[in-house]
Amino acid sequence: MKSTIAFPNLFGGFELSVNRVAFSIGRFEVYWYGLLIAIAVCLAVVLVLMAAKKYNINEDDLLNICLIGIIVGVISARLLYVLGRLDQEWTFADILNVRDGGMSIFGALIGGFIATAIYCKIKKINFLKLADLVVPYIALAQAIGRWGNFINKEAYGIPVRPSSILSSLAMTSMKIGGNVAGSIEEELYKLGLVDASLVANVNGNTFDYIGVHPTFFYESILNLSLFLILILVARNGKYFNGRSLCIYMASYGLYRFFIEGIRIDPLYLFDTGIKLSRLIALISAIFFGIMLILITILRSKDKKLFMKALIDEEEIQVGKSDYKDLLTDKDTYIPDNNTEIDTTSNDDKKIEKEDSVDK
């Protein structure tokens, strides 16, 4: 079924005709939503495998982790969605029917990370190093997958005030006064968000529509930006294991917290009225943000023992402090160029000392 999505204020105004069905195989319809997610996941897996050599992780283990993480992630994404919609009556068949939509990215992340951590524990793989490898491509997959929400006309926000600087991005799916069934406006009517003061004014002319925040677009752009930042971070060899993971979880949690604040289709924590995804986003931003700051401070102590340097200007060589083993990956840790690491073993030092005594 085709529908129209319009951006009346963007580039002078334009409309797009979209169909949620990408193609059909007999009577089986393949939706754009699922197709885009499948493309995003496959691309992420390929890129992870291409980057695996730098992290010295076996490709067979990576393929196993990707397979397990995807399967568990899909299941947990659906379960968290159902948990956030307990106001509906769910049968077991309804829960399994993911084709009707209803997935939570936080559920996918939580389930996928837990399953991966268990596998890493069994196989004795450094989970934090693995997470640093994977999270940039998770952000990229999210950026692509969010466009499935656009085609489905979902994951949008509250109406945009005509005076807002974001009014040019306001989107709508049907003009008010016509048939609003299945449109964005229908949801606005149900929520009591239709307000005459929100009817936009374009080029001096009043149009009968209400534009809403395209929150799927906001998140897609932010995810793409986060992907580029994480790629730049990964190119720096001087890092602690888990740094990219902390940056990803703290950053995604932060902007997702604000995006959830303006979405009109949130998941709720039972009947408390608390937005479930917003609560998880807040916890993620705070916890991983604090971890990132604390570990960075400890690493700075490893580099210069900052407090000691303030007192007597004595600098300690990198890799020789009490903090040198803190989350350090010996395969990728690179000392400063002007730092010489004493690789002489204790036995060799003892022999040298005895020789000097004999002389």
In order, the DSSP letters of 77-96 are: HHHHHHHTTTTS---HHHHH
Distances (CA, A) of 149 to 87, 185, 218: 22, 16, 12
Half-sphere exposure of 341 (CA within 13 A, CB side): 13
Please tell me the predicted confidence (pLDDT) of residue 176. Answer: 43
Please tell me the predicted confidence (pLDDT) of residue 334. Answer: 46
Please tell me the predicted confidence (pLDDT) of residue 198. Answer: 55
Contact 119, 64 (CB under 8 A): yes
In order, the DSSP letters of 218-241 are: HHHHHHHHHHHHHHHHHT-S--BT
Please tell me the predicted confidence (pLDDT) of residue 304. Answer: 56
Amino acid at site 163: S
Please tell me the predicted confidence (pLDDT) of residue 228. Answer: 96
CA-closest candidate to residue 214, choices 160, 140, 256: 160
CA-closest candidate to residue 193, choices 156, 147, 168: 156
Structure tokens at 55: 């992290």
φ/ψ of 3, rounded to 5, equals: -145, 165
Amino acid at site 117: A
Task: State the DSSP code for 304.
Answer: H
CA distance 210 to 171: 8
- DSSP run (H or E) holding 7: strand 2-7
Low-confidence spans in the chain with pLDDT less than 50:
175-181, 200-207, 306-307, 309-310, 313-319, 321-324, 326, 332-334, 336, 338-341, 357
Place of tokens 């048939």: 179
Task: State the DSSP code for 242.
Answer: T
CA-closest candidate to residue 247, choices 138, 116, 329: 138
Please tell me the predicted confidence (pLDDT) of residue 117. Answer: 95
Structure tokens at 332: 């990728």
Please tell me the predicted confidence (pLDDT) of residue 310. Answer: 46
Contact 252, 226 (CB under 8 A): yes
Please tell me the predicted confidence (pLDDT) of residue 287. Answer: 96
Structure tokens at 185: 């406006």
CA distance 216 to 153: 10
Distances (CA, A) of 71 to 37, 119, 176, 209: 13, 14, 42, 41
Helix (H/G/I), strand (E/B), else coil: 172? strand
Task: State the DSSP code for 12.
Answer: G
Task: State the DSSP code for 205.
Answer: E
Q: Where are the alpha helices (DSSP H) in 9-86?
A: 32-55, 59-83
